[in-house]
Structure 1
Amino acid sequence: MWKKIMTGLLTVMALVTLTACGSTGNSAQKEESGAAQQAATGQGKVLVVYFSASGNTKRVAETIADKQKGTLFEIKPSQPYTDDDLNYRNDNSRVVKEHAQPQLRPAYDGDVADWDSYDTVYIGYPLWWQQAPHVVYTFVENHNFEGKKVIPFCTSVSSPLGNSGENLAKAAGTGDWQTGVRFSGGVSQNEVLNWLKKL
C-alpha cells in the first residue's frame, strides 16, 4: 500500500518538475528571441511613427518598420484631410489656412502603447512648405523623447529637407535627434533600404 502511494507521489513530483522546466524554457526562449530581434536592428526596440496625407510617407514607414522589425503608429488627424483640404494652390483650403497659424496643433486619434519601452523612434511626414505638418508637432510635443534616438524622414515632390527635423527637435526638447532624410514622392523600396543600411 505504502509503496503504491510513494510511487504515485514520485510520479506527480516528476510531472510538476518537467512542467516547470518547460515553462522556464519557453520564457527563456521568448526573452532570447526578443534580445536577438533587438540585436538584429542594433537600435533596441523600434517604433515608426508617421503621418501620411497621400500615401507616400506611409509606404516609406511600412518599409522601415518591416526592415527594422518595428511597430507602426499612424498619426490620424481627428478631422481627416480631404483632397480639397490638401489643395495648397487654393488660398481658402485647409492646409493654407493652417499654415498661416504656426501655433495650431490639430488633434489626432489614439496613441502609442508602451511608449517608454521604445529605444529608437522614426518619425515620418510629408513636407508642407518645407516643414512638418502641424499635427506632427502635436504628437511630438505630447511625448517625452528622453533616452530615445529619434530619426526623422519625410517625403516631398519637390521641396528640400530644410530644417524641418531640427524644428521638430526643438519642439520636443528631449531626445537624441538625428539628421533627417528627404525622399521623393515616388521613392522606391530599394532607396529606403539603402538609406537604412547607412544608419
Structure 2
Amino acid sequence: MKKFLRAILMILVATGLTACSNDTESEVADGSDSGAASTNVELSENVLVAYFTEPEETGTDALAGASRVVEEGEVVGSTQFLAQTISEETGGELFRIETVQEYPADHDELVDQGDQEQSEDARPELTAEIENLADYDTIFVGYPNWFSDLPMPMYTFFESHDFAGKTIIPFSTHGGSGLSGTIETIGDLQPEATVYGNALSISRSEVADSRHEVVDWVNGI
C-alpha cells in the first residue's frame, strides 16, 4: 500500500510541474525544452544579421499591426527595423533574404499569398545566397511569424545554407502568435548548428517603440 501511495504522489508531483511550465509565456522565449541552447553564448566578432521582411504599404495601418515601421521618413518592415537595430548594436553585417517573386504590399493580398504558399509547402526562389558564410560564426536570423510558422522563404533559406558549427540567434515579429514552434523548426532544419533558445519575439504593434528592448536583449546574450 505504501509503495502504491508513493507512486501516486510522484505522478501528481510530475503533473503539477508540467502544468506550471505552461502557465507563463514571455516575449523572450526559453528554448531549453526544444534542444536549443538557452544559456548565454559568446558573440564572435564575425556577426551576420540575416532577415526576411515585407513592409505593407497599404491596407491595415501600422497602429493596428501592419508589418511596417516609418524610420527616418522611410517605410521599412517590422523585422527589418529589428535587424537594423541588432546590426547597429553588434556591428554585424546585414543580409536581406529576398525572393525572386515580389510579395504584394497590400496587407490582405500578402496574407492570401502567404497562406497559399504554406498550403502548397512552397519553396520560393531566393534572389541570392550568403556567399561568404564561412566568414561568420554567429548569425542572427529574423523573420515574421506567418500562420504560426516560418514564412516559406525561410525554409528555402535554411535548406540552402549549412550552418553546421555556427550559432543561430533567432528574432521574430508577430501579430499575436509569439514564436509558435519556429525555434524547434529551425533546430530541425539545422541540426548541426547551435540554436539560441532565448529568442526575441515582439508584437508588430510594439516594434516602433522597441529599440531599447532589442538593445537590452542583445546585451543579455
Which TM-score applies when normalising by structure 2? 0.66
2:167–2:196 contact (8 Å) kept in structure 1: yes
Query: CA contact under 8 A between 2:54 and 2:105: conserved in structure 1?
Result: no
Is 1:80 aligned with 2:102? yes
Q: Distance in 1 between matches of 2:143 and 2:151?
A: 7
Residues in 2 aligned to 1:193 and 1:166: alpha-carbon distance in whole angstroms: 24
From the superposition, tell whether residues 42 and 128 of structure 1 become closer, same or farther in structure 2 (CA, over 3 Å).
closer
Task: Say if 1:127 and 1:154, in contact at 8 Å, map to a contact too.
Answer: yes
Alignment partners' CA distance in 2, 1:87 and 1:174: 37
Aligned equivalent of 1:59, options 72, 77, 81: 81
3-state SS of paired residue (2:95): strand
- Please report how far the alpha carbon of residue 174 of structure 1 lies from its aligned counterpart in structure 2 after TM superposition: 2.1
Task: Give the equivalent residue in structure 2 for 1:50.
Answer: 51
Matches within 5 A, 1:12-51: 42-51=43-52
Who is 2:154 aligned against?
136
| Bigger radius of gyration among the two | 1
Letter of the 1:94 partner, please give it: Q
What is the SS of the residue equivalent to 2:123?
coil
Residue 182 (structure 2) pairs with residue 160 (structure 1)? no
**2:137 is aligned with what amino acid?**
D
Structure-1-length-normalised TM-score: 0.73
Question: What's the secondary structure of 1:99's corresponding residue?
Answer: helix
Correspondence for 2:72: none
Answer whether contact 1:87 1:95 (CA < 8 A) is retained: no
Check the 8 A contact 2:97/2:126 in 1, yes or no: yes
Find out whether 1:149 has 2:167 as its counterpart. Answer: yes
1:176 matched to 2:198: no
Q: In structure 1, what is the equivalent of residue 213 of structure 2?
A: 191
Which has more helix, going by share of residues? Answer: 1
Partner of 1:4: none
From the superposition, tell whether residues 151 and 87 of structure 1 become closer, same or farther in structure 2 (CA, over 3 Å): same
Instruction: Show CA shifts across 1:97-140 (max 9, x none).
Output: 112123x1101112223111100001000000121101011011
Distance 1:81 1:122 in 2: 23
Q: Deviations over 1:44-66 (max 9, x none)?
A: 30000000012000000011011
| Number of residue-to-residue matches in the alignment | 155
Unpaired segments of 5 or more residues in structure 1? 1-40
Question: Could you tell me how far apart the structure 2 residues matched to 1:126 and 1:42 are?
Answer: 23
Q: Which amino acid aligns with 2:113?
A: R
Q: Structure 1 residue 97 and structure 2 residue 98: aligned? A: no
Alignment check: 8 A CA contact 1:161 1:182 kept = yes
Give the AA of the match of 2:148.
Answer: Q
Over aligned residue pairs, what C-alpha RMSD do you find? 1.8
Identity of aligned residues (%): 32
Which consecutive residues of structure 2, in runs of 5 or more, have no partner in the other structure?
1-41, 56-76
